[in-house]
Amino acid sequence: MKKLRGLAIKAKKASYELAVLSSKLKEQALIKMAQALEKNYREIIRENKKDLISAKNLSKALIDRLSLNDAGIRLMADSLRQVASLADPLGEVIRGWLRPNGLWIQKIRVPIGVIGIIYEARPNVTSDCIGLCLKSGNAVILKGGSEAINTNRVIYEILHEAARKASIPDGAISFIEASERKSLSYLLGLNEYIDLIIPRGGEGLIRFVQEHSKIPVIKHYKGVCHIFVDEFANTDMAENICFNAKVSRPGVCNAMETLLVHKGIANVFLLRMLKRYKDAGVEIRGCPKTRKIVKDINKAKEIDWHSEYLDLILSVKVVANIDEAVMHINHYGSHHSDAIVTENYQNALKFMRQVDSACVYANASTRFTDGYEFGLGSEIGISTDKIHARGPMALEELTTYKYIIFGNGQIR
Protein backbone atom coordinates (compact mmCIF):
# COMPACT_ATOMS: atom_id res chain seq x y z
CA MET A 1 0.00 0.00 0.00
CA LYS A 2 2.98 2.27 0.54
CA LYS A 3 3.69 1.98 -3.20
CA LEU A 4 0.14 3.08 -4.05
CA ARG A 5 0.40 6.09 -1.78
CA GLY A 6 3.72 7.07 -3.34
CA LEU A 7 2.19 6.75 -6.80
CA ALA A 8 -0.70 9.05 -5.80
CA ILE A 9 1.69 11.62 -4.30
CA LYS A 10 3.70 11.69 -7.57
CA ALA A 11 0.48 12.05 -9.57
CA LYS A 12 -0.59 15.03 -7.45
CA LYS A 13 2.75 16.76 -7.98
CA ALA A 14 2.60 16.04 -11.72
CA SER A 15 -0.92 17.45 -11.96
CA TYR A 16 0.32 20.94 -11.06
CA GLU A 17 2.94 20.76 -13.82
CA LEU A 18 0.45 19.38 -16.36
CA ALA A 19 -1.94 22.25 -15.70
CA VAL A 20 0.52 24.73 -17.22
CA LEU A 21 2.01 22.65 -20.06
CA SER A 22 1.76 24.26 -23.47
CA SER A 23 -0.86 22.99 -25.90
CA LYS A 24 1.87 22.37 -28.47
CA LEU A 25 3.88 20.13 -26.16
CA LYS A 26 0.79 18.06 -25.30
CA GLU A 27 -0.16 17.80 -28.97
CA GLN A 28 3.32 16.61 -29.95
CA ALA A 29 3.34 14.07 -27.12
CA LEU A 30 0.00 12.60 -28.20
CA ILE A 31 1.16 12.25 -31.80
CA LYS A 32 4.32 10.45 -30.66
CA MET A 33 2.21 8.19 -28.44
CA ALA A 34 -0.04 7.30 -31.40
CA GLN A 35 3.04 6.44 -33.48
CA ALA A 36 4.38 4.29 -30.64
CA LEU A 37 1.17 2.22 -30.56
CA GLU A 38 1.38 1.56 -34.29
CA LYS A 39 5.09 0.76 -34.16
CA ASN A 40 4.60 -1.78 -31.36
CA TYR A 41 1.35 -3.36 -32.56
CA ARG A 42 2.80 -6.88 -32.72
CA GLU A 43 3.78 -6.71 -29.06
CA ILE A 44 0.28 -5.51 -28.11
CA ILE A 45 -1.41 -8.33 -30.04
CA ARG A 46 0.95 -10.89 -28.51
CA GLU A 47 0.04 -9.78 -24.99
CA ASN A 48 -3.65 -9.59 -25.90
CA LYS A 49 -3.57 -13.25 -27.00
CA LYS A 50 -2.36 -14.18 -23.50
CA ASP A 51 -5.41 -12.48 -22.01
CA LEU A 52 -7.77 -14.10 -24.53
CA ILE A 53 -6.44 -17.56 -23.62
CA SER A 54 -7.11 -16.86 -19.95
CA ALA A 55 -10.54 -15.42 -20.79
CA LYS A 56 -11.92 -18.41 -22.70
CA ASN A 57 -14.54 -19.07 -20.00
CA LEU A 58 -15.80 -15.48 -19.90
CA SER A 59 -18.96 -14.31 -21.66
CA LYS A 60 -18.95 -13.48 -25.37
CA ALA A 61 -19.56 -9.82 -24.52
CA LEU A 62 -16.46 -9.62 -22.31
CA ILE A 63 -14.31 -11.44 -24.85
CA ASP A 64 -15.52 -9.03 -27.56
CA ARG A 65 -14.54 -6.05 -25.40
CA LEU A 66 -11.19 -7.62 -24.58
CA SER A 67 -10.14 -8.55 -28.13
CA LEU A 68 -7.70 -6.41 -30.11
CA ASN A 69 -6.48 -6.69 -33.70
CA ASP A 70 -4.51 -4.50 -36.13
CA ALA A 71 -7.58 -2.40 -36.94
CA GLY A 72 -8.37 -1.90 -33.26
CA ILE A 73 -4.86 -0.66 -32.54
CA ARG A 74 -4.99 1.71 -35.51
CA LEU A 75 -8.28 3.06 -34.15
CA MET A 76 -6.65 3.63 -30.75
CA ALA A 77 -3.84 5.54 -32.46
CA ASP A 78 -6.32 7.54 -34.55
CA SER A 79 -8.21 8.47 -31.37
CA LEU A 80 -5.01 9.87 -29.86
CA ARG A 81 -4.37 11.90 -33.02
CA GLN A 82 -7.91 13.24 -33.01
CA VAL A 83 -7.59 14.26 -29.36
CA ALA A 84 -4.30 15.96 -30.23
CA SER A 85 -6.03 17.97 -32.98
CA LEU A 86 -8.85 19.24 -30.75
CA ALA A 87 -8.77 22.67 -29.16
CA ASP A 88 -7.17 22.75 -25.73
CA PRO A 89 -9.99 23.47 -23.25
CA LEU A 90 -7.70 24.86 -20.55
CA GLY A 91 -7.84 28.61 -20.04
CA GLU A 92 -11.08 28.98 -22.01
CA VAL A 93 -13.08 31.92 -20.66
CA ILE A 94 -16.53 30.51 -19.98
CA ARG A 95 -17.85 33.91 -18.95
CA GLY A 96 -16.45 37.32 -18.12
CA TRP A 97 -18.05 40.42 -16.63
CA LEU A 98 -17.21 43.83 -15.15
CA ARG A 99 -18.65 44.72 -11.76
CA PRO A 100 -19.76 48.31 -10.90
CA ASN A 101 -16.79 48.56 -8.50
CA GLY A 102 -14.36 47.94 -11.36
CA LEU A 103 -13.54 44.29 -10.62
CA TRP A 104 -13.12 42.27 -13.83
CA ILE A 105 -14.25 38.67 -13.15
CA GLN A 106 -13.60 35.71 -15.41
CA LYS A 107 -14.77 32.12 -15.08
CA ILE A 108 -12.17 29.90 -16.78
CA ARG A 109 -11.62 26.21 -17.45
CA VAL A 110 -8.98 24.38 -15.41
CA PRO A 111 -8.08 20.68 -14.97
CA ILE A 112 -9.77 18.57 -12.30
CA GLY A 113 -6.34 17.40 -11.06
CA VAL A 114 -5.74 13.68 -10.46
CA ILE A 115 -8.26 11.22 -11.90
CA GLY A 116 -8.43 7.55 -10.93
CA ILE A 117 -10.00 5.29 -13.57
CA ILE A 118 -11.08 1.77 -12.63
CA TYR A 119 -12.20 -0.39 -15.53
CA GLU A 120 -12.79 -3.92 -16.79
CA ALA A 121 -11.93 -5.77 -20.01
CA ARG A 122 -11.51 -2.78 -22.35
CA PRO A 123 -7.85 -2.32 -23.40
CA ASN A 124 -8.71 0.69 -25.57
CA VAL A 125 -9.81 2.46 -22.36
CA THR A 126 -6.14 2.54 -21.35
CA SER A 127 -5.06 4.63 -24.35
CA ASP A 128 -8.25 6.71 -24.58
CA CYS A 129 -8.07 7.75 -20.92
CA ILE A 130 -4.36 8.52 -21.05
CA GLY A 131 -4.86 10.68 -24.14
CA LEU A 132 -7.86 12.61 -22.83
CA CYS A 133 -6.38 13.18 -19.38
CA LEU A 134 -3.08 14.40 -20.84
CA LYS A 135 -4.78 16.83 -23.23
CA SER A 136 -7.03 18.20 -20.47
CA GLY A 137 -4.10 18.65 -18.09
CA ASN A 138 -5.02 15.90 -15.62
CA ALA A 139 -2.76 13.26 -14.11
CA VAL A 140 -4.28 9.79 -14.42
CA ILE A 141 -4.03 6.63 -12.33
CA LEU A 142 -5.28 3.56 -14.18
CA LYS A 143 -6.47 0.33 -12.60
CA GLY A 144 -7.66 -2.19 -15.16
CA GLY A 145 -9.22 -5.58 -14.54
CA SER A 146 -7.25 -8.80 -14.17
CA GLU A 147 -8.84 -10.24 -17.33
CA ALA A 148 -6.91 -7.68 -19.47
CA ILE A 149 -3.80 -7.26 -17.34
CA ASN A 150 -1.24 -8.18 -20.02
CA THR A 151 -2.80 -5.99 -22.71
CA ASN A 152 -3.34 -3.02 -20.41
CA ARG A 153 0.18 -3.26 -19.04
CA VAL A 154 1.89 -3.27 -22.43
CA ILE A 155 -0.26 -0.38 -23.75
CA TYR A 156 0.56 1.63 -20.63
CA GLU A 157 4.30 0.87 -20.91
CA ILE A 158 4.39 1.92 -24.57
CA LEU A 159 2.49 5.17 -23.96
CA HIS A 160 4.33 5.98 -20.74
CA GLU A 161 7.70 5.67 -22.47
CA ALA A 162 6.57 7.80 -25.43
CA ALA A 163 5.23 10.44 -23.02
CA ARG A 164 8.49 10.45 -21.06
CA LYS A 165 10.48 11.02 -24.25
CA ALA A 166 8.12 13.90 -25.08
CA SER A 167 8.91 15.63 -21.74
CA ILE A 168 5.60 14.87 -20.02
CA PRO A 169 6.14 15.15 -16.22
CA ASP A 170 6.99 12.01 -14.28
CA GLY A 171 3.90 10.74 -12.46
CA ALA A 172 1.43 12.12 -14.98
CA ILE A 173 0.50 8.61 -16.15
CA SER A 174 0.37 5.73 -13.65
CA PHE A 175 -0.81 2.13 -13.78
CA ILE A 176 -1.71 -0.20 -10.91
CA GLU A 177 -1.13 -3.89 -11.54
CA ALA A 178 -2.46 -5.19 -8.21
CA SER A 179 -5.85 -6.81 -8.86
CA GLU A 180 -7.10 -7.62 -5.36
CA ARG A 181 -9.99 -5.66 -3.81
CA LYS A 182 -7.74 -4.60 -0.90
CA SER A 183 -5.66 -2.42 -3.21
CA LEU A 184 -8.80 -0.93 -4.75
CA SER A 185 -10.21 -0.08 -1.31
CA TYR A 186 -6.94 1.62 -0.38
CA LEU A 187 -6.93 3.62 -3.61
CA LEU A 188 -10.49 4.80 -2.94
CA GLY A 189 -9.35 6.24 0.37
CA LEU A 190 -6.60 8.48 -1.05
CA ASN A 191 -8.81 11.56 -1.21
CA GLU A 192 -5.90 13.77 -0.16
CA TYR A 193 -4.27 13.19 -3.55
CA ILE A 194 -6.96 11.95 -5.97
CA ASP A 195 -9.71 14.37 -7.01
CA LEU A 196 -12.10 12.13 -8.96
CA ILE A 197 -12.81 8.41 -9.47
CA ILE A 198 -14.41 7.12 -12.67
CA PRO A 199 -15.46 3.44 -12.65
CA ARG A 200 -16.21 1.61 -15.90
CA GLY A 201 -17.46 -1.94 -15.72
CA GLY A 202 -20.23 -4.16 -14.39
CA GLU A 203 -22.81 -3.28 -11.77
CA GLY A 204 -20.83 -5.02 -9.04
CA LEU A 205 -17.71 -2.94 -9.63
CA ILE A 206 -19.58 0.35 -9.83
CA ARG A 207 -21.60 -0.39 -6.70
CA PHE A 208 -18.43 -1.33 -4.79
CA VAL A 209 -16.66 1.87 -5.85
CA GLN A 210 -19.63 4.07 -5.01
CA GLU A 211 -20.05 2.49 -1.56
CA HIS A 212 -16.37 2.54 -0.56
CA SER A 213 -14.94 5.69 -2.14
CA LYS A 214 -14.00 8.73 -0.07
CA ILE A 215 -13.36 10.47 -3.39
CA PRO A 216 -16.14 11.92 -5.61
CA VAL A 217 -17.35 9.36 -8.18
CA ILE A 218 -18.88 9.85 -11.62
CA LYS A 219 -20.73 6.65 -12.51
CA HIS A 220 -20.64 5.07 -15.94
CA TYR A 221 -23.57 2.78 -15.28
CA LYS A 222 -25.18 0.10 -17.40
CA GLY A 223 -26.88 0.85 -20.71
CA VAL A 224 -30.48 -0.36 -20.76
CA CYS A 225 -31.17 1.39 -24.07
CA HIS A 226 -34.54 1.52 -25.82
CA ILE A 227 -35.89 2.27 -29.27
CA PHE A 228 -39.55 3.27 -29.64
CA VAL A 229 -41.03 2.71 -33.11
CA ASP A 230 -43.87 5.21 -33.34
CA GLU A 231 -47.06 4.72 -35.38
CA PHE A 232 -45.76 7.40 -37.75
CA ALA A 233 -42.42 5.68 -38.36
CA ASN A 234 -40.94 4.92 -41.74
CA THR A 235 -40.91 1.16 -41.18
CA ASP A 236 -38.00 0.45 -43.52
CA MET A 237 -35.89 3.00 -41.67
CA ALA A 238 -37.09 1.66 -38.33
CA GLU A 239 -36.15 -1.89 -39.27
CA ASN A 240 -32.61 -0.91 -40.22
CA ILE A 241 -32.11 1.25 -37.14
CA CYS A 242 -33.44 -1.41 -34.77
CA PHE A 243 -31.36 -4.16 -36.36
CA ASN A 244 -28.20 -2.08 -36.15
CA ALA A 245 -28.84 -1.07 -32.54
CA LYS A 246 -29.16 -4.68 -31.38
CA VAL A 247 -27.03 -6.80 -33.72
CA SER A 248 -24.04 -4.71 -34.87
CA ARG A 249 -22.26 -5.12 -31.52
CA PRO A 250 -24.51 -6.45 -28.77
CA GLY A 251 -21.84 -6.48 -26.04
CA VAL A 252 -21.49 -2.69 -25.67
CA CYS A 253 -23.36 -0.25 -23.46
CA ASN A 254 -25.03 1.65 -26.33
CA ALA A 255 -26.68 -1.44 -27.82
CA MET A 256 -30.48 -1.61 -27.62
CA GLU A 257 -31.89 -3.96 -24.98
CA THR A 258 -35.64 -3.23 -25.27
CA LEU A 259 -37.72 -2.52 -28.37
CA LEU A 260 -41.02 -0.67 -27.90
CA VAL A 261 -43.54 -0.66 -30.76
CA HIS A 262 -46.74 1.37 -31.12
CA LYS A 263 -49.82 -0.87 -31.24
CA GLY A 264 -50.96 0.79 -34.48
CA ILE A 265 -48.13 -0.73 -36.52
CA ALA A 266 -47.14 -3.68 -34.33
CA ASN A 267 -48.87 -6.41 -36.38
CA VAL A 268 -47.05 -5.53 -39.60
CA PHE A 269 -43.74 -4.28 -38.21
CA LEU A 270 -43.07 -7.02 -35.67
CA LEU A 271 -43.66 -9.88 -38.11
CA ARG A 272 -40.88 -8.55 -40.36
CA MET A 273 -38.60 -7.25 -37.62
CA LEU A 274 -38.63 -10.32 -35.40
CA LYS A 275 -38.04 -12.65 -38.35
CA ARG A 276 -34.95 -10.65 -39.22
CA TYR A 277 -33.78 -10.80 -35.62
CA LYS A 278 -34.33 -14.55 -35.39
CA ASP A 279 -32.43 -15.09 -38.64
CA ALA A 280 -29.51 -13.25 -36.98
CA GLY A 281 -29.65 -15.47 -33.89
CA VAL A 282 -31.37 -13.02 -31.55
CA GLU A 283 -33.44 -14.51 -28.71
CA ILE A 284 -36.71 -12.58 -28.35
CA ARG A 285 -38.50 -12.13 -25.02
CA GLY A 286 -41.88 -10.55 -25.62
CA CYS A 287 -44.83 -9.10 -23.73
CA PRO A 288 -48.24 -10.84 -24.08
CA LYS A 289 -49.27 -8.61 -27.00
CA THR A 290 -46.00 -9.31 -28.81
CA ARG A 291 -46.47 -13.07 -28.30
CA LYS A 292 -49.94 -12.89 -29.85
CA ILE A 293 -48.40 -11.45 -33.01
CA VAL A 294 -45.35 -13.74 -33.12
CA LYS A 295 -46.02 -17.07 -31.40
CA ASP A 296 -42.64 -18.79 -31.14
CA ILE A 297 -40.85 -16.40 -28.79
CA ASN A 298 -40.12 -16.49 -25.06
CA LYS A 299 -42.21 -14.72 -22.43
CA ALA A 300 -40.67 -11.54 -21.03
CA LYS A 301 -40.48 -11.43 -17.23
CA GLU A 302 -40.31 -8.34 -15.03
CA ILE A 303 -36.53 -8.65 -14.70
CA ASP A 304 -36.13 -8.51 -18.49
CA TRP A 305 -37.28 -4.89 -18.63
CA HIS A 306 -34.43 -3.98 -16.24
CA SER A 307 -31.78 -6.11 -17.95
CA GLU A 308 -28.63 -5.09 -19.80
CA TYR A 309 -28.09 -8.34 -21.69
CA LEU A 310 -24.89 -7.41 -23.57
CA ASP A 311 -25.79 -10.33 -25.81
CA LEU A 312 -28.08 -11.31 -28.69
CA ILE A 313 -31.17 -11.14 -26.48
CA LEU A 314 -33.92 -8.54 -26.87
CA SER A 315 -37.03 -7.62 -24.86
CA VAL A 316 -39.99 -6.46 -26.95
CA LYS A 317 -43.13 -4.66 -25.79
CA VAL A 318 -46.17 -3.29 -27.63
CA VAL A 319 -47.29 0.06 -26.18
CA ALA A 320 -50.52 2.00 -26.59
CA ASN A 321 -48.95 5.39 -27.34
CA ILE A 322 -45.90 7.62 -26.97
CA ASP A 323 -46.82 8.42 -23.35
CA GLU A 324 -46.62 4.74 -22.38
CA ALA A 325 -43.30 4.43 -24.20
CA VAL A 326 -41.82 7.41 -22.35
CA MET A 327 -43.16 6.13 -19.01
CA HIS A 328 -41.63 2.68 -19.62
CA ILE A 329 -38.23 4.14 -20.53
CA ASN A 330 -38.08 6.50 -17.57
CA HIS A 331 -39.07 3.70 -15.20
CA TYR A 332 -36.95 0.81 -16.50
CA GLY A 333 -34.11 2.54 -18.33
CA SER A 334 -30.67 3.45 -17.04
CA HIS A 335 -30.72 7.04 -18.38
CA HIS A 336 -28.06 6.18 -20.99
CA SER A 337 -29.33 6.31 -24.60
CA ASP A 338 -32.83 6.00 -26.05
CA ALA A 339 -34.37 6.66 -29.46
CA ILE A 340 -37.63 7.25 -31.28
CA VAL A 341 -38.25 6.42 -34.93
CA THR A 342 -41.00 8.66 -36.31
CA GLU A 343 -41.90 10.96 -39.18
CA ASN A 344 -44.00 13.08 -36.81
CA TYR A 345 -41.93 16.08 -35.75
CA GLN A 346 -44.07 16.89 -32.71
CA ASN A 347 -43.78 13.33 -31.42
CA ALA A 348 -40.03 13.43 -31.91
CA LEU A 349 -39.78 16.67 -29.89
CA LYS A 350 -42.06 15.33 -27.16
CA PHE A 351 -40.01 12.14 -26.82
CA MET A 352 -36.70 14.00 -26.76
CA ARG A 353 -37.93 16.47 -24.13
CA GLN A 354 -39.57 13.93 -21.83
CA VAL A 355 -37.16 10.97 -21.89
CA ASP A 356 -34.73 11.45 -18.98
CA SER A 357 -31.54 10.09 -20.54
CA ALA A 358 -28.06 11.40 -21.29
CA CYS A 359 -28.50 10.91 -25.05
CA VAL A 360 -31.88 10.94 -26.81
CA TYR A 361 -32.15 10.29 -30.56
CA ALA A 362 -34.76 10.77 -33.27
CA ASN A 363 -34.38 8.49 -36.30
CA ALA A 364 -30.89 7.19 -35.53
CA SER A 365 -29.34 4.19 -33.81
CA THR A 366 -28.32 4.39 -30.15
CA ARG A 367 -24.98 2.93 -31.25
CA PHE A 368 -23.76 6.46 -31.96
CA THR A 369 -23.39 7.26 -28.25
CA ASP A 370 -19.63 7.29 -28.40
CA GLY A 371 -17.05 10.01 -27.92
CA TYR A 372 -15.36 9.25 -31.24
CA GLU A 373 -18.69 9.35 -33.14
CA PHE A 374 -19.61 12.63 -31.44
CA GLY A 375 -16.36 14.18 -32.72
CA LEU A 376 -14.88 14.37 -29.23
CA GLY A 377 -11.78 12.35 -30.11
CA SER A 378 -12.64 9.56 -27.70
CA GLU A 379 -14.21 9.28 -24.29
CA ILE A 380 -13.47 8.37 -20.70
CA GLY A 381 -16.88 6.69 -20.74
CA ILE A 382 -20.60 7.45 -20.86
CA SER A 383 -21.74 9.13 -17.66
CA THR A 384 -25.28 8.36 -16.52
CA ASP A 385 -24.99 10.88 -13.68
CA LYS A 386 -26.58 14.32 -13.90
CA ILE A 387 -24.09 16.37 -11.91
CA HIS A 388 -20.89 17.68 -13.53
CA ALA A 389 -20.87 15.34 -16.53
CA ARG A 390 -23.56 13.54 -18.53
CA GLY A 391 -23.17 11.39 -21.65
CA PRO A 392 -19.78 10.92 -23.37
CA MET A 393 -17.05 12.32 -21.10
CA ALA A 394 -14.32 13.92 -23.15
CA LEU A 395 -12.05 16.96 -22.81
CA GLU A 396 -14.59 19.52 -21.60
CA GLU A 397 -16.02 17.09 -19.01
CA LEU A 398 -12.52 16.49 -17.63
CA THR A 399 -12.25 20.13 -16.62
CA THR A 400 -13.77 22.20 -13.85
CA TYR A 401 -13.56 25.98 -13.48
CA LYS A 402 -12.27 28.68 -11.25
CA TYR A 403 -12.77 32.43 -11.03
CA ILE A 404 -9.97 34.88 -11.64
CA ILE A 405 -10.55 38.45 -10.58
CA PHE A 406 -8.62 41.55 -11.75
CA GLY A 407 -8.69 44.62 -9.57
CA ASN A 408 -6.92 47.97 -9.20
CA GLY A 409 -6.91 48.44 -5.47
CA GLN A 410 -10.54 47.73 -4.56
CA ILE A 411 -11.28 47.04 -0.87
CA ARG A 412 -14.51 46.09 0.85
pLDDT reading at 363 higher than 90: yes
The pLDDT, as a whole number, for residue 360 is 98
- Region 103-116: mean pLDDT is 98
Over the stretch 311-346, which tens digit does the pLDDT of each residue have? 999 999 999 999 999 999 999 999 999 999 999 999
DSSP codes, 366-382 = GGG-STTTTTSS--SEE
Q: State how far the Cα of 60 lies from the Cα of 58, in Å rounded to an integer.
A: 7
The pLDDT, as a whole number, for residue 263 is 98
pLDDT band at residue 145 using 50, 70 and 90 as cut-offs: confident
pTM (predicted TM-score): 0.90
| Domain spans in the chain, listed from the N-terminal domain onward | 2-220+380-406, 225-368
pLDDT reading at 179 higher than 90: no
SS3 for 328? helix
DSSP codes, 105-148 = EEEEEEE--EEEEEE-S-HHHHHHHHHHHHHTT-EEEEE--GGG
Reported as type and span, the H/E element at residue 362 is: strand 359-362
Over the stretch 204-214, which tens digit does the pLDDT of each residue have? 888 999 999 99
The pLDDT, as a whole number, for residue 181 is 75
2-220+380-406: CATH, from 3.40.605.10, 3.40.190.150, 3.40.50.920, 1.10.287.1120 = 3.40.605.10
| Nearest by Cα to 262 from 329, 341, 338 | 341
pLDDT reading at 65 higher than 90: no
- Region 257-263: mean pLDDT is 98
pLDDT reading at 180 higher than 80: no
Q: Rounded mean pLDDT of the chain?
A: 95
- Which fold, 225-368? Aldehyde Dehydrogenase; Chain A, domain 2 (3.40.309)
- Helices (H), ranges, 294-335: 302-306, 322-332
The pLDDT, as a whole number, for residue 257 is 98
- Region 361-380: mean pLDDT is 93
The pLDDT, as a whole number, for residue 178 is 72
The pLDDT, as a whole number, for residue 249 is 92
